[in-house]
Amino acid sequence: MSWVWLIVVGAVVGALGRLLHPGREPMGFLMTIGIGIVSLVVAGIIFSGFWAFVVGVIVAVILVYFFAREEEHPAV
């Protein structure tokens, strides 16, 4: 998979993860792309094709949840 393709699909997966997570997220577009790329890499290691996309969106929702919690309540 090329890097450009990974960034583009990562942005889509990150945006879908952000849309499917209820509530307001205090993170920017670059963080959304980063979460999408990380979730696609994790999903790509486990699955391939369409299932990698589906699992990537699920992982993105989970990562958005954890990053949104950390932004609201940072560790001391």
Distances from the Cα of 11 to the Cα of 3, 33, 72, angstroms: 12, 4, 23
Considering Cα of 16, then 34, then 53, then 2, what sign does the dihedral take? positive
Q: What is the pLDDT of residue 3?
A: 67
Domain range annotation of the chain: 3-22+29-72
Report field, pTM of the whole predicted structure over 0.85:
no
Block means of pLDDT (10 residues each) for the chain, 76 residues, are 72 80 71 83 82 84 78 60
